[in-house]
Amino acid sequence: MLKRVLTYSHELLQQTVKPGDFVIDATAGNGNDTLMLAKLVGDTGHVLSFDIQEKAIENTRELLRKHNMNNVSLIKDSHSQLEKYLHGKMYGNIDGAVFNLGYLPGSNKSIITKPESTIAAIQQLLPHLKEEKLIVLVVYYGHEGGEKEKEELLQMVKNLDQKRFSVLEYRFMNQQNHPPFLLAIEKRKAR
């Protein structure tokens, strides 16, 4: 059966993220992706989880507490600043990242991810992403400003060097009302 976009995003990460890995949740939101990543990397790995909204950080902190997860750094800052939070063994050693673009469900819909910060975050991540690892983006664009982010993001990923990166687009074509879609960027093995 065809998988829903969110389910497929998790499945892709579950295939590549292993215990001991360093990973990034670029949009903490309600904490579901952060929790999934924290479980995948285990006690020997670490998750950096970013969000600009205090409510998202609180939601994620509470979810992690309920699951006794202590391998996450919650960062109240834009994902466009992520490179300054890479330190020690993380630098040049990122095993995966996930973005859920749009707005925090159940909150102020005027606070949205923006193409400038999303593209800056991806551009910062790419040199640190290990070979055969993924950046997964779930693109929600049915809100004001979402179409602009979608178009600029698609343009950016289409221009990635095909010798270094493979880019997958996964979407349902016959759904109404701007259904979310998935982009996955894999860093290819150097030849």
Residue 65 maps to which CATH number? 3.40.50.150
Task: Answer whether residue 191 shows pLDDT above 80.
Answer: no
Task: Answer whether residue 141 shows pLDDT above 90.
Answer: yes
Which residue from 137, 146, 136, 155 is spatially nearest to 177, judged by alpha carbons?
A: 146
| Cα–Cα separations (whole angstroms), residue 41 to 16, 19, 36, 57, 170 | 11, 4, 9, 20, 25
Average the pLDDT over 165-169 and give the result: 98
The number of folded domains in the chain is 1
Structural domain range at position 67: 5-187
Cβ pair 160, 118 in contact under 8 A: no
Amino acid 129: pLDDT: 98
Amino acid 86: pLDDT: 94
Mean pLDDT of the chain: 95
Which residue from 84, 91, 113, 104 is spatially nearest to 29, judged by alpha carbons?
A: 104
- Pairing between strand 165-170 and 181-187? antiparallel
Task: Answer whether residue 57 shows pLDDT above 90.
Answer: yes
Average the pLDDT over 35-51 and give the result: 98
Task: Answer whether residue 176 shows pLDDT above 90.
Answer: no
Average the pLDDT over 166-182 and give the result: 92
Residue with tokens 């290990």: 130
Work out the pLDDT band at 62, boundaries 50, 70, 90: very high
Amino acid 58: pLDDT: 97
Work out the pLDDT band at 9, boundaries 50, 70, 90: very high
Average the pLDDT over 53-78 and give the result: 97
3-state SS of 137-162 is EEECCCCCCHHHHHHHHHHHHHCCCC
